[in-house]
Amino acid sequence: MIRVIQSESTMLGDFQTNLLLERKPFKFQVMLRGVEGVYVFASIRDSVYRFTETSVIRDFSYLKLLELRDEDKFNTNRELNISETGWSYWFYKPDSTEHPFNRKVTRLDSGRVICTKVIKQLYNVGEGKVVKLRDVNTPLYLFIVAVSEYDENGQPKGELIRRKLKIEWEDD
């Protein structure tokens, strides 16, 4: 279960969701159950829309190789990484000394946790620069996948969720 929260809470229950947000901080709440994380592709270009509910995600085997940047640890800078070539992995492990969510995690029971990631700015990985939400003039596109298991080649054998999200911004 994934929610986007600003003045209201919207659950991403359908494959594709369109939201209209103010250009101010918002947050993602992710309930993890049976997996340690979700893969997030975020961009200001609509290339993510080439994925359908069932299409194969090429190069998925390389996703686990992405490193957590120091600035991502415990969501210190409240950033969402945007990139045309890479994925973020939002994960939580109880015994880990770092993760990309806010430090406080809510444990519901033995198999479920709710993790929060506040977003106050974007980080353009390709350009190496921070973009404040108030300066974003294009929609934000996200593709989120939770994988339940992988085959011997690192390709996903099963997915728990697959969601597309388009965030547009209210006029000031």
Could you tell me the pTM of the whole model? 0.89
Could you tell me which residues come within 8 angstroms of residue 56 by beta carbon, excluding any fewer than 6 positions away?
Answer: none
Distance of CA 112 to the CA centre of its chain: 18
pLDDT for res 67: 59
When computed from its CA atoms, the radius of gyration of the chain, rounded to whole angstroms, is 15
pLDDT for res 11: 96
| Side chain identity at residue 118, one-letter code | V
pLDDT for res 64: 42
Place of tokens 């939201």: 19
Q: Domain segments of the chain: what residues?
A: 2-169
pLDDT for res 137: 92
pLDDT for res 72: 78
Give the residue ranges of the chain where pLDDT is below 70. 58-68, 154-155
From the list 53, 59, 11, the residue with the least C-alpha distance to 145 is 53
